[in-house]
Structure 1
Amino acid sequence: MRKEGDILGDYRLRHVVSEGRFTRTWEGEQLSMQRIVMIEMLRSKVMRQPGLVDSFISDVRAKATVNHPGIGVVYEVFTNDEDTFFSREKLEGESLESLYQSGSRFSPLEIVVLLGQIADAMWQLKIEEVATVDYELHHFLIASKDEVRVMNLAVEGARDEQIET
């Protein structure tokens, strides 16, 4: 199992941010660029499941095709016998979910500005027919009262119109 300070190629792991069923997400540093990134790594037990590494890499490649200033950027994918991960932009801000839970308030103008940015990003995904998983409030990060960034949830495959981004 990986630990803080481990070096993986061009990346140093800093600390675990979250853990899911299939992945562990780290804050890391891309050494060559001297920038903080997020590293989403397949859990070792998952890597042994047939087809899962290929599916993970296909989804990362789908994310890498997304080009919109409001949607997080994917930098690269890495795989060897021990690790499979991708690095992505670290989005700054607080999620809509945590802002809602804390009772934060926005003026009508701020709401219009933020919703306009979200709609623009979602529309771009729709016109490019990018398949995604369902978006939830924690996928939208408010960097300031007038800027929202959206996590990149693109996946490989055909767009499902039942999933409205």
Structure 2
Amino acid sequence: MLYLTINETNALLRTAHTDAFHLEVSDDHSAVADETEPMRRVLAGLPPFEPDAYPDSWREWDELVGEVTAHGVTMRRVRVVSEPLTDYVRFLQGLTDRNVRLGEDIRWLPRHLVDQADYTTDEWWLIDNARVAFTIFGTDGDFVGAALTEDPAIVDRCTGIRDALWRKATPHADYAPGG
């Protein structure tokens, strides 16, 4: 596997030709530094930021999604979540309309509906059914990069997981958390 920094991971997403799929399975990334205050604000019923305080890292993501989807690439994401939702996942749900407006297709899948044969506890990006970039978090919980592989067995496994979970997941606009 090849280690990628955050910038290299973002550059990888820009190389997608048809599809960039992200699997998220963690109920808590609340230690991510640039999400602490926005999470507090969203859970309090406020906008995530003051109008003049939009973080550069969030702006960069917005630009990346816009750039990638403008080239006709489908950006998809399944969030496998425990119900009832954790505060962190409630925070994500509160921001997902923004991601959808930017061009991402995001679906939700309650963990109890997942067949363990169609699951992984790793979070990753699958790019064009050819490359998998496993998300790496530092000891402080912040995203630090990815581990990239083109191993056909791993790519095939992740493609199968993506397809199985995508079919079962509920589009964001239709998802109403239970539990």
After TM superposition, the score normalised by the length of structure 2 is 0.22
After TM superposition, the score normalised by the length of structure 1 is 0.24
Q: Which has the larger radius of gyration?
A: 1
Name whichever structure is richer in helix by fraction: 2
Using CA pairs below 8 Å that are at least 6 residues apart, which structure has the higher relative contact order?
Answer: 2
Name whichever structure is richer in strand by fraction: 1
